[in-house]
């Protein structure tokens, strides 16, 4: 297989590769996190809170991060702010809009769920968090050694099982059997979670492909087109914004960065400096155009040339434009 063919193949599987990388990074992060941070308190009620916190909180954070760092999340928010007259839109177009929103939301949610589901699966397969959280609730009715203990004493003893140094020697064998059973429950739960997610993903993918109006080859073409369009659009955006910003900067200073033969420069006044300094939010000029910065707003106001310094063979000549309104 040639290098170009390999690159094309990898590009066509970009989503799968991205999800695999996220999953691998989550597995590595979970192992480091577990090694350096996890230490079961071995105390009644505290075990459950601590274990569930380590199971749920990182998964929730990863889920939020997955939504935040997906561009389509913000497109859903900003894409529905247009001033539409709903009565003028047909029922069919509204239905298509809602279908598109559901499709994009499902795509965003699917990608955002990769990291938290991986975290939950790996932590359950590890067994340490679950053993810590569920130790005090373990079923020990078959052990005679617990029959003479009160409910509170039994709960306290079971809560200490994750910490070997706190358990009396006569409970060592029972402790090993209980922890093995808890680890078994945790790992079975982890594999069930992986199996359910895999089957659900396959079913959703099949349903999406069946409902798609595109054929297999047309879908591949559409995917390639969207990727190329996005890449080219980003390049054009970068170039367009540089050219546009260059015009405003030239208006402010009298020359553009990179000019080799500068014959004159403009000296901004204190009023000009105040106009372009400070913080600014996007300001709407009218229904069609916006000000993207304070410098942009200043340039659109078409200020007078002000003080211009001519540079000619080492001689500097200063011209001051007449004040506005003078004859």
Question: Which is more confidently placed, 119 or 26?
Answer: 119
Tokens read off for 69: 């760092």
Model confidence at 99: pLDDT above 90: no
Question: Which is more confidently placed, 191 or 70?
Answer: 191
pLDDT of residue 260: 83
Distance separating alpha carbons of residues 101 and 83, to the nearest angstrom = 17
- ∠ CA 209-99-76, nearest 5°, is 110
Distance separating alpha carbons of residues 324 and 51, to the nearest angstrom = 72
Distance separating alpha carbons of residues 93 and 89, to the nearest angstrom = 7
Q: Residue 9: CB partners within 8 Å, gap ≥ 6?
A: 1
Distance separating alpha carbons of residues 198 and 205, to the nearest angstrom = 11
Q: Which of 186, 171, 173, 181 is nearest to 138 (CA)?
A: 181
Q: For 49-71, what is the mean pLDDT?
A: 88
pLDDT of residue 105: 85
Model confidence at 286: pLDDT above 70: no
Yes or no: say if 111 and 23 are a contact pair by the CB < 8 Å rule. Answer: no
Distance separating alpha carbons of residues 126 and 121, to the nearest angstrom = 9
List the single range of 2-11, 49-58, 154-163, 200-209 with lowest mean pLDDT.
2-11
Yes or no: say if 224 and 234 are a contact pair by the CB < 8 Å rule. Answer: no
For 310-326, the pLDDT digits (tens) are 887 544 455 555 544 44
| 195 bridge partner residues | none
pLDDT of residue 211: 81
Distance separating alpha carbons of residues 17 and 107, to the nearest angstrom = 15
Q: For residue 38, what are the CA distances in angstroms to 51, 55, 262?
A: 9, 11, 64
Model confidence at 182: pLDDT above 60: yes
Q: Which of 151, 158, 161, 167 is nearest to 136 (CA)?
A: 158
Tokens read off for 68: 């935040």
pLDDT of residue 323: 46
pLDDT of residue 192: 96
- ∠ CA 18-22-27, nearest 5°, is 150
For 245-276, the pLDDT digits (tens) are 999 999 999 888 888 888 888 899 888 898 88
The ranges assigned to domains in the chain are: 14-228, 242-320
């Amino acid at each position: 297989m040639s290098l170009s063919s390999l690159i094309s193949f990898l590009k066509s599987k970009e989503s799968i590769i991205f999800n695999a990388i996220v999953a691998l990074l989550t597995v590595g992060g979970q192992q480091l996190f577990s090694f350096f941070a996890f230490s079961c308190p071995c105390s009644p009620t505290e075990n459950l809170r601590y274990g569930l916190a380590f199971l749920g909180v990182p998964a929730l954070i990863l889920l939020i991060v997955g939504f935040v760092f997906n561009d389509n999340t913000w497109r859903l928010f900003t894409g529905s702010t247009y001033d539409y007259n709903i009565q003028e839109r047909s029922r069919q177009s509204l239905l298509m809009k809602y279908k598109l929103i559901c499709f994009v939301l499902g795509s965003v949610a699917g990608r955002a769920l990769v990291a938290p589901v991986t975290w939950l699966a790996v932590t359950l397969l590890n067994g340490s968090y679950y053993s810590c959280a569920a130790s005090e609730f373990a079923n020990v009715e078959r052990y005679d050694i617990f029959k003479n203990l009160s409910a509170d004493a039994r709960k306290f003893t079971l809560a200490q099982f994750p910490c070997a140094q706190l358990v009396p020697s006569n409970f060592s064998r029972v402790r090993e059997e209980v922890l093995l059973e808890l680890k078994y429950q945790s790992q079975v739960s982890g594999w069930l979670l992986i199996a359910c997610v895999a089957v659900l993903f396959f079913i959703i993918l099949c349903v999406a492909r069946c409902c798609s109006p595109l054929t297999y080859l047309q879908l591949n073409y559409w995917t390639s087109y969207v990727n190329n369009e996005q890449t080219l659009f980003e390049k054009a955006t970068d170039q367009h914004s540089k050219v546009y910003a260059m015009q405003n900067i030239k208006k402010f200073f009298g020359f553009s960065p990179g000019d080799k033969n500068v014959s004159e420069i403009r000296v901004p006044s204190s009023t000009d400096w105040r106009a372009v300094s400070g913080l600014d939010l996007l300001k709407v000029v009218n229904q069609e155009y916006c000000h993207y910065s304070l410098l942009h707003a200043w340039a659109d106001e078409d200020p007078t040339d002000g003080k211009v310094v001519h540079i000619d063979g080492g001689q500097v000549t200063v011209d001051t434009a007449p004040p506005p309104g003078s004859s």
